[in-house]
Amino acid sequence: TAIKLLVLPGDGIGPEIMREVRHVIDWLQSRRGLTLDITEDLVGGASLAEYGVPIRDEVIEKAWAADAVLFGSVGDPKWAHVGFEKRPEVAILKLRQELGLFANLRPAKVFDALVDASTLKPDVVRGLDIMIVRETVGGIYFGNPRGIETLPDGSKRGINTEVYTTAEIERVARVAFDLARKRSNRVCSVEKCNVMESGLLWKEVVTDVHAKEFPDVELSHMLADNCAMQLVRNPRQFDVIVTGNLFGDLLSDLASMLTGSLGMLPSATLGAVHENGKFPALYEPIHGSAPDIAGKGIANPIAQILSFAMLLRYSLNKQEEADMIEQAVSNVLESGLRTADIMSEGMARVGTSVMGEAIVRE
């Protein structure tokens, strides 16, 4: 039976970089006998424009039914005034929550060919390879009570609640320790246990899981503010970082910017493996919808293409095809092709579709 793929390009540059992935998929279908049953649908501002909501229940159902979801990005200043419940971002938040996608894997890797793209000195970032494991269905993103209330004197109070349970921390910690075993075997757990009790519980539970199930992995703990500093001071000290939803949001963006080439970085958000073998998973680039360059044909399609390679690897167990794509990207970079975001002297500047075609050709 064909593998079911749900493709959600979303807003901004989403559709144009997704087009390049489709070319890669076409090639794999015709040359490698891969049979993918692909459905495409709207999310974010694109869905708001068509249906008045950032994501339809129908799309959530399709995501459940699919073997994997390939996501572009959401967010568009055009919809800034649409109200909190309807904002484009709800699309990705709902997908994460409804599919139980609790572990967001965000690699921050410096490509040798692009070491000069970083604002950090080459000596500080050369060879950088961090994996941030961010919890994505808990914490302050989803806790209750939340909202804005009006006080008797007419002034207001905004409230959000950070909540983490033992079980929520355990399962994401296991993902981090498992990954570390396949890498340099080190996990750094990050929280603010000196200020927040939820962080204190986080630290305790990670320590427990480590002692009971992963004593062979090296575990350290770091405060989130110090982690932000250490990522700037000496990022190569890290292998795997595991942290909550909010800290993960900031720290993974910070870490990816250290590479200087956001347009290169894919991510995976994984759910639990269910008893019937179902394994919900969503793949998306680290970068956002970049409305400022949308439609200009200059966006870098590589992060989206590498997100598809991650999908092949983690969800479809197609290691060979994933390798092929990653190797093709690497070869194209070696050959000197660059989109605007990673351009440097002496290289050949190309647009979205030339970059996509070059990767297919390779």
Ligand X SMILES: CC(C)[C@H](C(=O)O)[C@@H](O)C(=O)O
Q: Which active-site residues does the annotation give?
A: 141, 192, 225, 249, 253
Q: Which does 92 bind (CB under 5 to 8 A by kind): ligand X, a copy of itself, none?
A: ligand X
Q: Which is nearer to ligand X, 75 or 356 (CB)?
A: 75
Least Å from the CB of residue 117 to a copy of itself: 11
Least Å from the CB of residue 295 to a copy of itself: 21
Interaction of residue 140 with ligand X, rule CB under 6 A:
no
Interaction of residue 197 with ligand X, rule CB under 6 A:
no
The Cα 147–Cα 150 span in angstroms is 10
What angle do helix axes 14-32 and 319-334 make, rounded to 10 degrees?
Answer: 120
Interaction pattern, residues 153-192, with a copy of itself; x per rule: CB under 8 A: --xxxxxxxxxxxxx------------------------x
Task: Tell me the residue type at 81.
Answer: H
Tokens coding 150: 């009006």
Q: Is position 288 annotated in a ligand binding site? A: yes
Instruction: Pick from 161, 194, 220, 319 the residue near ligand X by CB under 6 A.
Output: 194
Phi/psi at 13 (nearest 5 deg)? Answer: -75, -5
Phi/psi at 223 (nearest 5 deg)? Answer: -70, 145
DSSP 3-state assignment of 311? helix
Q: Which does 351 bind (CB under 5 to 8 A by kind): a copy of itself, ligand X, none?
A: none
The Cα 55–Cα 63 span in angstroms is 11
Instruction: Pick from 49, 65, 195, 273 the residue near ligand X by CB under 6 A.
Output: 195
Phi/psi at 242 (nearest 5 deg)? Answer: -120, 135
Q: Which is nearer to ligand X, 195 or 343 (CB)?
A: 195
Question: Which candidate, 315, 303, 241, 240, places its Cα nearest to that of 271?
Answer: 315
DSSP assignment letter at 297: T
Q: Is position 296 annotated in a ligand binding site? A: yes
Site for a copy of itself in 238-257 (CB under 8 A): 246-247, 249-251, 253-254, 256-257
Q: Is position 224 annotated in a ligand binding site? A: no
Interaction of residue 129 with ligand X, rule CB under 6 A:
no
The Cα 326–Cα 303 span in angstroms is 11
Q: Which does 160 bind (CB under 5 to 8 A by kind): a copy of itself, ligand X, none?
A: a copy of itself
Q: Which does 18 bind (CB under 5 to 8 A by kind): a copy of itself, ligand X, none?
A: none
Output the CA angle 242-182-318, nearest 5 degrees: 105
The Cα 104–Cα 269 span in angstroms is 4
CA distances from 4 to 28, 34, 208 (A): 15, 11, 38
- List interacting residues with a copy of itself (CB under 8 A): 75, 84, 87, 89, 93, 119-121, 124, 140-141, 143, 146-148, 151, 155-167, 192, 194-202, 205, 224-226, 228-229, 231-234, 246-247, 249-251, 253-254, 256-258, 262
- List interacting residues with ligand X (CB under 6 A): 75, 89, 92-93, 194-195, 225, 249
